[in-house]
Amino acid sequence: MPATVVVGAQWGDEGKGKVTDLLAQSGERGAAEGPVEVVVRYQGGDNAGHTIVVGDDVYKLNLIPSGVLHPHITPVIGNGVVVNPHRLIEEIDELEARGISCAKLRVSGNAHLVMPYHIELDKVKERYLGKNRLDTTKRGIGYAFADKAMRVGLRVQDLFDRKIFEEKLDFVLKEKNAILAKIYGSLPFDQGKIAADYMAYAERLKPYVTDTTVFIHEALREGRHVLLEGAQATLLDLDHGTYPFVTSSNPVAGGACVGAGIAPRDITRVIGVAKAYITRVGAGPFPTEIHGAEAEDMLERSGRDARAGIEFGTRTGRLRRLGWFDAVLLRYADRLNGFTELVITKMDVLSGYAELPVCTEYMYGDERYKEFPAHQSVFHHCEAVYERLKGWNADISKVLTADEMPKEARAFVEFLEMQTGVPIRIVSVGPEREQTLRIAA
């Protein structure tokens, strides 16, 4: 019963979509598991975004797992995801219009719904917070998770019992409308309109809704390879990330058990996906961040392959902050996730640098930190200590095997492996499926 978790090892946008897509495609040469047959999203909502490039086609997915591009795969939206039904239907329609069938999609009845008042509250709260805002995607995701924890959330299964749906909505909307009107001076929501809209969504979504834990459990029992796809990333984890600049769910590997309804013993492999450098969207501390001309230069390099796009968030369209690879952060991510291997993406972006700084420690005052500092005040003021590796001048985006990489690029990968203590099995040198180098164990 092989289950593999794919987790972002940094602050997101590492290229998890490409990695999931690769594993989904044909399994892996030499891997113990067969090809992936089920891909499960286990947390987050449509605040996430994966970009997958297949030839000239670019797919941007927010809710539906990347596996949907493969006809043999069943994509599953697990109970740990919050679902905006309007967005889900839009995404299904967009994919279907492009010839990608979503007929196999399964959606957990236990997943919570994103409601219009969640989105409105997200928007007005960000405005209210001003310079203290979290830079959320304003998709209402945090508010949906908050209502889940407060036990006033509406779930996908509520869509199929109008009476219960309306009772719950009536109860919760009174409070939300009062908050919107009295605190934020916003217009109240019309209960009848929400109910009518959501009943229409129910009709559309009915064929996809199922008991996903039974489905996943059976797949595992039959020995089918299940891939659990994390959205966002480790340093954005609600518990372990750089709080409060985090997401409202748990992307770490342990979150996969909760958000998909599987047992820890079912997980056989945890793949961490890390960029060869780091990006971060939104506010929060970032010790290896670069600024000014140095950042502009890296931004330009990241856009050399137009299909990958320069560093804008898939979901947000916001320019990403950029910085050098941080091994301290990666060691922390490994501690939390127990990576069995790392995939390093975007190595191509680093081509042409004479020198490549890699952060191996932090300094805070006179103290050196080899491990991620537990206290936020320390982390906020840490300075990165770098080792400087020799860069390579050749374009590596067309290299077909790891052996063909310039020796400096191989040395860079080996250095990351040594610093993080995690084997690196795959290096990605471009957005295309073919631009993937496998490194023998």
- Residue 250 interacts with ligand GDP (CB under 6 A)? no
Helices 327-337 and 407-420, axial angle in degrees (round to 10):
50
Q: Give the type of residue at 24.
A: A
Closest to 48 (Cα-Cα) out of 66, 36, 75: 66
How far CA 55 is from CA of 16, 285, 432, in Å, comes to 18, 37, 7
Shorter beta-carbon distance to ligand GDP: residue 43 or 345:
345
Residue 58 or 196: which CB sits closer to ligand GDP? 58
Among 65, 261, 287, 431, binds ligand GDP (CB under 6 A): 431
Task: For residue 315, give both structure tokens.
Answer: 């979901």
CA–CA separation, 392 vs 411, rounded Å?
10
The rounded distance, in Å, linking the Cα atoms of 88 and 301 is 34
Residues in contact with ligand GDP, counted by CB under 6 A, come to a total of 23
Q: Which of 311, 316, 376 shows the shortest CA–CA distance to 122?
A: 316
Q: Which stretch binds ligand GDP (CB under 6 A): 114-122, 329-337, 341-349, 386-394?
A: 341-349
Annotated catalytic, 50? yes
Among 1, 4, 6, 8, binds ligand GDP (CB under 6 A): 8
62 binds ligand GDP (CB under 6 A): no
Residue 186 or 314 with smaller CB distance to ligand GDP: 314
Closest CA to 233 of 218, 220, 245: 245
Interface mask toward ligand GDP for 345-384; x: CB under 6 A: xx-xx-----------------------------------
Examine the residue annotation and report whether 13 is marked as an active-site residue of this protein. yes
Tell me how far apart the alpha carbons of residues 296 and 278 are, in angstroms, rounded to a whole number.
14
- Nearer Cβ to ligand GDP, position 44 or 373? 44
Question: Which of 1, 16, 253, 351 is the binder for ligand GDP (CB under 6 A)?
Answer: 16
Cα–Cα distance list, 108 to 78, 93, 271, 280 (Å): 5, 19, 24, 30
Shortest Å distance, C-beta 140 to ligand GDP: 20
Q: 53 vs 257, which CB is nearer to ligand GDP?
A: 53
Taking the CA atoms of 370, 374, 379 and 381 in sequence, report the sign of the dihedral they define. Answer: negative
* 217 is an interface residue for ligand GDP by CB under 6 A: no
* Token pair listed for 210: 């199922």
Across-strand partners of 234? none
Q: Which window, 123-131, 253-261, 301-309, 320-328, contacts ligand GDP (CB under 6 A)?
A: 301-309
Q: Does 406 bind ligand GDP (CB under 6 A)?
A: no
- Kindly list the catalytic residues: 13, 50
Give contact residues for ligand GDP (rule: CB under 6 A). 8, 13-18, 49-51, 53, 305, 308-309, 314, 345-346, 348-349, 428-431
